[in-house]
Amino acid sequence: MYNNKDKRSYGGAVYHPTPSAPSLDITINQNGGGGSPSPYATSRRQPPMHAPPPPPTYSSSHYSEAMWIDRFPRRENRGMFRLCLVQTLLSAVVLGGGIWCYRSTPAYCPYYSAIWTASIFLLNSVVGSLAAKIGSPNLYIAHMTLSLVSIMLCVVSAILSARNWDLVGTYQHPRIDRNSAFCLIGQHDAPRISHIFSHMDKYDFGQCLFELKVGVAVNSVQFVVSVIVAFLNMLSFFMCLRRACSCNCF
């Protein structure tokens, strides 16, 4: 229904205004009244999506320093390099024990076998490490030669250390006099026991026992390490032989 008020005339023509659209007002009950809430009254807000952090960047110098130990001319050289590192560690242990025995109690380590044999072992392991890292045919051949020499020295070192260990406490020891190792009696000797009891104030039993412990320990470690290094040198020799044959060094 339109009233006369809604009529407007323009140039003698009468126009009726278009009816206005009905307005729809929605009241949201926020006071928790008894009415049921409208499903369109509220909407669940989704948490904002955060972009993942960018990957960390590394400088070229840091990357080269971290990956230097893994750089080899061939993938198989990695095992050879690690084998030589183990030989280096074992050789350093025997060399340190030999120097300690020489300075503290040279009588229990005759011929200084732990020093000169461990020095050859250490030289061989260094040459093998360089051969694995560089891949030079000359270094392969040098490492193979030193490995054969080291195997023979391992046999000599094991024999000498076993002999030194076995002679401790006997009268057949080449460097320990009968009356010097007074803190150790390998067999019943009544005259010697009587002599020790009558001159106990002249002997340093603590120093004698310390020398005995050092001598036995160094000879025992030398024997065990010689056996292990001989086995590692055999493995290193065959691994190096494969590298030398593959590069036509012969």
Residue 151: pLDDT band with limits 50, 70, 90 = very high
Residue 65 lies in a domain: no
136 contacts: CB under 8 Å, gap ≥ 6: 130
Q: Where are the alpha helices (DSSP H) in the chain?
A: 60-67, 77-104, 113-134, 137-167, 190-198, 205-246
Residue 223 sits in which domain range?
A: 71-192+203-248
Kindly state whether residue 111 falls inside one of the protein's structural domains: yes
> Among candidates 65, 59, 73, 42, which has minimal Cα distance to 137?
73
- How confident is the model over 165-185, as pLDDT tens digits? 888 877 666 666 666 666 777
Average pLDDT, the chain: 75
Confidence class of residue 62 from pLDDT cuts 50, 70 and 90? very low
Look at residue 208 and tell me if it is in a domain.
yes
Among the residue ranges 56-60, 99-103, 133-137, the one predicted with the least confidence is 56-60
For residues 30-43, average pLDDT: 51
pLDDT digits (tens, 9 = 90+) for 112-134: 889 999 999 999 999 988 888 88
- The answer as to whether 140 is a domain residue is yes
Entry pTM: 0.65
Amino acid at 57: T
Place of tokens 């000498």: 160
Size of the chain in residues: 250
Task: Tell me which of 76 and 164 has the higher pLDDT.
Answer: 164
Evaluate whether residue 102 is within a structural domain. yes
Q: Does 133 reside within a domain?
A: yes
Q: Per the domain annotation, does 5 fall within a domain?
A: no
Find all residues with CB under 8 Å of 100, minimum gap 6, and list them: 214, 218
Is pLDDT of 58 > 50? no
- State the CB neighbour count (10 A cutoff) for residue 112: 14
Which residues, 6+ apart, have CB-to-CB distance to 56 below 8 Å?
none
Residue 159 vs residue 3, higher pLDDT: 159
Number of domains present in the structure of the chain: 1
How does DSSP classify residue 174? S
In a domain, 35, yes or no: no
